[in-house]
Chain A
Amino acid sequence: TAGIRIFRFGPCQVSLSMTEIRAGFNAIKANIQARDPIRTLSILSYPHSLHKVQSSDRCCITHQLFDFYVEKVFKHCQTEDSSINRKISSIANSFLSVKRNLGQCREQNKCTCGQESSEKLKQILENYEGLNVTSAAIKSLGELDILLDWME
């Protein structure tokens, strides 16, 4: 089916068309990763993998990451290939829905942020700003499955 996943972070619950997003990402993954020459660096996983995050901060980090992709990443990933751009648009619009739902959880204090999440986000932003914006955005997009795997 369309593969809606309901993600529960304590009192916060958001639904996400995971299958649609993964299908969109898998269709562009090879092309996007081929545009990323810097294989030795990671935006999401350096120095520590997302998997080390404490469960109490998962909701906040998820919201911060969706916010990061919507606000910073997707807009700098335009390519000369309109089919790639269409898939990116599809993912970006799905991320926007989830970002909004998580934002409502934060407003209702159902998605609290601890020190760990702010440190993790700070590290990701440092990794991101250590590269020129297009390279950083393309690398981040190429690592989207790291986020999706961590969420699942």
Chain B
Amino acid sequence: EDAVLPAPQNISILSTNMKHFLTWSPVIIQGETVRYSVEFQGEYEREYANESWIPTCECSLITATVCNITEDISATVAYNLRVRTVVGARRSEWGTLKGFFNRITTSLTPPLTKVIADGYHLLVELEDMGPAFQFCVLYWKKGQEDRMQQKVVKEVGSVVHLDTMEAGPDYCVKAQTYVEAINRSSNFSQTQCVRAQGGTSMWL
């Protein structure tokens, strides 16, 4: 009689910047191709749909031990997640993530920023992190931290114009992300300072 297929172990979530991945340890069975299937269950399913489970968008019968569940975690509620092993027609028991996952707990990293002095224009280039992200950019004349100015950037496209600089002083810039769906912000990026130099770009 076929040995019982072991369920996946060490199931965990990696969630950074609203991208969510479920990972687990590989199940090794000599001479066999081991596959995995992942399912999720939102709060609605637990409370109103007989605790039903839904197959994930991308991870049915996969061989990898990581699954991108970002598409499936599309509401700010507590989700259950589970994965099982599949070899041919044989299925293991489900391995279930310990505890719920709510996207509100995603870790938010500061945005990659590039500050540019284009002649007398203070510009910033922001990393495109996806539609869920806005940016708060702070900029100030060095030494005048009490007169910091702020610009909220909702759509990241091209370079953002912050200010027209005077010749001489340094101008400093830092930025953080803001995710409306979970009402949270990242830490600020490293401060970068530049100075206007006639018509040429100048880094400090």
Co-complex (A, B): yes
Query: Which residues on A are within 8 Å of B, measured CB to CB?
Result: 1-4, 15, 17, 19-20, 24, 70-71, 74-75, 82-83, 85-86, 89-90, 92-97
Beta-carbon contact of B74 and A96 below 8 Å: no
Q: How far is the CA of A4 from the CA of B179 in the complex (A)?
A: 9
Q: How far is the CA of A93 from the CA of B179 in the complex (A)?
A: 19
Contact A89-B54, Cβ < 8 Å, known A1-B180, A17-B75? yes
Q: Separation in Å of the B151 CB from the closest CB of chain A?
A: 15
Q: Can you name 8 A-B residue pairings with CB atoms under 8 Å?
A: A2-B179, A2-B181, A15-B180, A17-B180, A70-B48, A75-B48, A89-B45, A92-B42
Beta-carbon contact of B75 and A82 below 8 Å: no
Instruction: Count B interface residues, CB 8 Å.
Output: 27
Q: How far is the CA of A83 from the CA of B71 in the complex (A)?
A: 11
Beta-carbon contact of A1 and B134 below 8 Å: yes
Beta-carbon contact of A1 and B131 below 8 Å: yes
* Closest A residue by C-beta to B56: A86
Find A1's partner among B42, B72, B154 (CB 8 Å cutoff).
B154
Beta-carbon contact of A97 and B179 below 8 Å: no
Interfacial chain A residues near B169, Cβ < 8 Å: none
Beta-carbon contact of A85 and B54 below 8 Å: yes
Seed contacts A4-B181, A17-B180, A89-B54; 4 additional CB < 8 Å A-B pairs? A17-B181, A75-B48, A75-B49, A94-B74
* Closest B residue by C-beta to A98: B75
Q: How far is the CA of A75 from the CA of B51 in the complex (A)?
A: 11
Beta-carbon contact of A2 and B132 below 8 Å: yes
Beta-carbon contact of A90 and B75 below 8 Å: yes
Q: How far is the CA of A120 from the CA of B173 in the complex (A)?
A: 54
Main secondary structure, interface of A, reads helix
Query: Which residues on B are within 8 Å of A, measured CB to CB?
Result: 42-45, 47-49, 54-57, 71-72, 74-77, 131-134, 154-155, 179-181, 183
Find B74's partner among A82, A85, A93, A95 (CB 8 Å cutoff).
A93
Q: Separation in Å of the A2 CB from the closest CB of chain B?
A: 4
Beta-carbon contact of B57 and A86 below 8 Å: yes
5 A-B pairs with least C-beta separation: A93-B75, A4-B180, A93-B42, A90-B74, A92-B44
Interfacial chain B residues near A75, Cβ < 8 Å: 48-49
Contact A96-B47, Cβ < 8 Å, known A1-B133, A1-B134, A2-B180? yes
Q: How far is the CA of A86 from the CA of B76 in the complex (A)?
A: 15
Q: Separation in Å of the A109 CB from the closest CB of chain B?
A: 25
Q: How far is the CA of A82 from the CA of B71 in the complex (A)?
A: 13
Interfacial chain B residues near A1, Cβ < 8 Å: 131-134, 154-155, 180
Listed residue (A3, A15, A90) with the most chain B CB atoms within 10 angstroms of its CB: A90
Interfacial chain A residues near B75, Cβ < 8 Å: 17, 20, 90, 93-94, 96-97
Beta-carbon contact of B131 and A93 below 8 Å: no
